[in-house]
Structure 1
Amino acid sequence: MDTVDNTDDAGEPDFQPVFENRVRFAETDQQGIVFYGEYFTFQDETVSQFFREIDYSYEEMEADGWQVHVVNAELNYRDAAEFGDVLVNELRVAEMGTASITFEYRVRRKSDDRTLADGTVTQVAVDLETEEPIAVPDAFREAVAAFQGGLASADP
């Protein structure tokens, strides 16, 4: 049986394409390009879709008594997207600490494979009732590792 290597040349998990969208007119600015703030919306939708892809949705988190809160988000803008462009939004879990999950995000234009933006978003697992940080559940860690072929740890 062949094994699939889901890592890049540095041994990091590969980016997974998890969400495609076509740029809508409402997402563009007066210059006719995607308004920079929209990329955070694309990034957020990509994280949500990632959770669905690993079969661990927000609803399942809540049923298990936890949720995530964004504590940091960063984006680097590389090139402009315009009305009608199809965007491929990719994600990977770069690090998982005791209570934190850091995602690396990248969005490419489908027609020419050009990277338009990349960045990170860090979320912290919190108890649903107390909203205090908790350890990321093992079931979630296992789902991520199975989906992307492993994961890196942010702390011991």
Structure 2
Amino acid sequence: MSKPIITDEIELRVRYAETDQMGIVYYGNYAQYFEVGRVEWLRKFGISYKSMEEQGVLLPVVSLNVKFKKSARYDDVVKVKTQLVKMPSATIEFDYEITNEAGEILTLGNTVLVFMDVSKNRPTRCPKYLLDKLQDYSFKNFNSTP
């Protein structure tokens, strides 16, 4: 049996355009790092934002929380760890941890996204195909609702 894909990690190199005049990552770019993390997390399940959109489901962010601990700088390699908080319903929630090459925590974050039916312009339940893929994995450490 394959290892559960509850958490995914990717590495990114900080580009010059992502920094301010002091060579420190501009705070607004962390939301983009989180997006890269969750897009790749979904991709591990064979699901892409593009395919969801083609099926009439969008995932707008409805909540973003960020806690900055240390600065990332130009040319640093950072690791973005993305974890599903609980089984999705009409929303899907992720926690993030960004660390540097020394393993120091730079940033912690959380996003909540809502599944949106494009044709109705209203929230909808998580697509069944995503829930089916997630059912195969162990979520015993999650704060799932009964």
TM range, normalised to the smaller chain? 0.7 to 0.9
Do the aligned residues in 2 keep the contact of 1:23 with 1:34 (CA within 8 Å)?
yes
Q: Which residue pairs with 1:150 in the alignment?
A: 139
* Partner of residue 40 from structure 2, selected from 44, 49, 62: 49
Residues of 2 paired with 1:145 and 1:121: CA distance? Answer: 22
Do residues 76 (structure 1) and 71 (structure 2) align? no
Do the aligned residues in 2 keep the contact of 1:55 with 1:143 (CA within 8 Å)?
no
Q: 1:153 to 1:100 in 2, by over 3 A?
A: farther
Do residues 92 (structure 1) and 83 (structure 2) align? yes
Gaps of 5+ in 1: 8-12
Q: 1:33 to 1:124 in 2, by over 3 A?
A: same
CA displacement at 1:56 relative to structure 2: 0.8
Residues of 2 paired with 1:144 and 1:106: CA distance? Answer: 21
Question: Percentage identity across aligned positions?
Answer: 26
CA displacement at 1:63 relative to structure 2: 3.4
Aligned CA RMSD, in angstroms, stands at 2.3
Letter paired with 1:77: F
CA displacement at 1:154 relative to structure 2: 5.4
CA displacement at 1:131 relative to structure 2: 1.8
Do the aligned residues in 2 keep the contact of 1:105 with 1:119 (CA within 8 Å)?
yes
Letter paired with 1:115: I
Do the aligned residues in 1 keep the contact of 2:93 with 2:111 (CA within 8 Å)?
yes
Do the aligned residues in 2 keep the contact of 1:97 with 1:154 (CA within 8 Å)?
no
Do the aligned residues in 2 keep the contact of 1:91 with 1:104 (CA within 8 Å)?
yes
Do the aligned residues in 2 keep the contact of 1:65 with 1:127 (CA within 8 Å)?
yes
Do residues 118 (structure 1) and 118 (structure 2) align? no
CA displacement at 1:59 relative to structure 2: 2.1
Letter paired with 1:21: L
Q: 1:144 to 1:85 in 2, by over 3 A?
A: farther
Cα distance per residue 1:87-121 (max 9 Å; x no partner): 11110110234201111111111x20111101100
Residues of 1 paired with 2:22 and 2:12: CA distance? Answer: 20
Q: Which residue pairs with 1:10 in the alignment?
A: none
Q: TM-score, normalised by structure 2?
A: 0.85
Q: How many residues align?
A: 145
Letter paired with 2:110: T
Gaps of 5+ in 2: none
CA displacement at 1:60 relative to structure 2: 2.1
